[in-house]
Amino acid sequence: MRALLLASLLATAAAQANELRLNQLGFLPGSAKWAVAEGAKAGEFRVLQGQREVLRGKLQSTTKLADFSALKTPGDYELQVAGLAPVKFRIAADAYAELGRAALKVFYFNRASTALPAEFAGPWARPAGHADTEVEVHPSAASPSRVVGSKISSPKGWYDAGDYNKYTVNSGITTWTLLAAHEHFPAFFQAQKLAIPESANALPDVLDEALWNLDWLLTMQDPADGSVANKLTNLHFDGIVMPHEAKAPRYLVGRSTSAALNFAAVMATASRVFKEIYPERASRMRSAAESAWRWAQANPALLFKNPTGVSTGEYGDAKLDDEFAWAAAELYVTTGDASFWQAFLAKAPKPGVPGWADVGQLGWISLAHHREQLGAEADRALILQRNRELAAELTQRWKDSAWRTGLRDADFGWGSSGQALNQALVLIQGRRLGGPREQLDAAQALFDHVLGRNALGRSFVTGFGVLSPQHPHHRPSEADGVVPPVPGFVVGGPNRGLDDATHCPPYPSTEPAKAYIDNFCSWASNEVAINWNAPLAYVAAALQVLK
């Protein structure tokens, strides 16, 4: 153990933040390629291949931006700016292939109710945790058919984040993002293998992974009335133990309108994705979506608050217009029933970057993707406009930002990496709808931020980049005795809220873009979460497809 610890310390000491900040995985041949030489005294940059100079350019603006997008030939290069340590980088058609796979493999690593054998999990193999076959109905989730203290079986699903609990609301946007990735880029995912137990079957692995959570989600619905429970959790968070060592009793907690609407949206989406593949299962998903929708119509304002005696994540949301709109949009696309278009239009959400509590844009995205199949009542011009105006706004922010990432101080809240990646996802929709190339370049820039073109000169994805998180707030990574953390997790990233500052060692900086510590204690800046990894997988795939 001491030897492992020493090795870890040495590895950490050896890794240094780049002074020249750029995407530490390199670039695709056609990518926009930018680096920041912050603080450089020199006025120009050089790119070398071996001893040969292949490009020279002027550094732009006060932040000293180097734009070497003109370089498109695959190969190994070095970026040089006088006075700063040179940095090697790569241009390759497969520069993001491994990251894209790892970003999805994370969901396998976070599966509940199953062992992870070494064949698939390598050094991060572990015994099964949380069978969740005898989950007690908490008074907050009780109904005539699910009486207090009775037990239900609710296995599978993903652990939400650094903890071992399962939440309907946050798994909603997460599962949708994986399903949308497949809807948008089916050929890419048909070819992608994740080395999971289902890699041998004919189904794309991203869909096998989505099913792991959908199977669990279906059990969260009360079959008697269509209501959906908020979460399946302990009463309190576990200690720092492996899944199989976590023995606290599990409860079905709460019922809420937001849980029912998240469930309706995701099941409606899943039912169309699986329609040809598993017709019976798809039909069951569609019925489940419709009954959850009906329950939400009859119970439109049942908000969730943690009941007394329960302190696990709340995912409370007081604004549900966006959830109604999202569920209506997905039900409309799936069923073609014009009344769902009217229900969507009644809430017509303002365009905005998606997040777990702000899901209206997901509806606009699905409507745009399926616009050719919609009925005559659908306003296609409006659907396109709502997607395009948000992409255009984010493109302008990118143009205006000193670092050319488009991020503003306000974006450095809890989960700033997820915020950046969801901004990229929105920009990608603009490009997919015929927008200019610069929308893809702006998405690339946000991806670059997550992988090293940031004020800390570090990657925020475990296992990727020259300097990456070593101590994420992720219980298995902390408790497994393996030095490297489970790879492929994007951590929350800089968070100017400093929400855990009283609990953790001091943050080296409280500047919004630098308020980060690579310490297990920091749930506010270094936790992992399924809803941040889903857009990482989406964006990695989109950049590879759209090039």
Total number of residues shown for the chain: 547
User: Per the structure block, which two tokens stand in for 462?
Assistant: 């475990």
> Taking the CA of residue 208 as centre, how many other CA atoms within 13 Å lie in the half-sphere pointing to its CB?
20
Least Å distance, CB 212 to Ca ion, is 11
Q: What is the DSSP string of 43-62?
A: SEEEEEETTEEEEEEE-BTT
- Cα dist from 39 to 20, 282, 350, whole Å: 10, 56, 39
Q: Which is nearer to Ca ion, 95 or 169 (CB)?
A: 169
CA dihedral 230, 235, 239, 242 (to 10 degrees): -60
527 included as an active-site residue: yes
Least Å distance, CB 30 to Ca ion, is 29
The answer to whether residues 80 and 74 touch, using CB atoms and an 8 Å cutoff, is no
Least Å distance, CB 209 to Ca ion, is 9
Q: Which is nearer to Ca ion, 205 or 238 (CB)?
A: 205
Least Å distance, CB 259 to Ca ion, is 12
Catalytic residue among 163, 209, 330, 358: 163
CA–CA dist 90, 451 (Å, integer): 14
- Provide the β-strand partners of residue 355: 358
245 included as an active-site residue: no
CA–CA dist 527, 439 (Å, integer): 29
208 included as an active-site residue: no
Least Å distance, CB 139 to Ca ion, is 26
Q: Which is nearer to Ca ion, 61 or 201 (CB)?
A: 201
Q: Which is nearer to Ca ion, 203 or 248 (CB)?
A: 203
CA–CA dist 114, 247 (Å, integer): 15
Contacts of 339 (CB under 8 A, 6+ apart): none
Least Å distance, CB 196 to Ca ion, is 7
The answer to whether residues 446 and 32 touch, using CB atoms and an 8 Å cutoff, is no
> Contact residues for Ca ion (CB under 5 A)?
198, 201, 203, 205, 208, 317, 319, 322, 357
- Provide the β-strand partners of residue 66: 35
Q: Which is nearer to Ca ion, 198 or 222 (CB)?
A: 198
The answer to whether residues 515 and 540 touch, using CB atoms and an 8 Å cutoff, is no
CA–CA dist 43, 198 (Å, integer): 53
Least Å distance, CB 43 to Ca ion, is 48
DSSP 133: S
Helix, strand, or coil here: 468?
Answer: coil
Q: Which is nearer to Ca ion, 317 or 448 (CB)?
A: 317
Q: Which is nearer to Ca ion, 357 or 482 (CB)?
A: 357
Q: Enumerate the active-site residues.
A: 163, 473, 518, 527
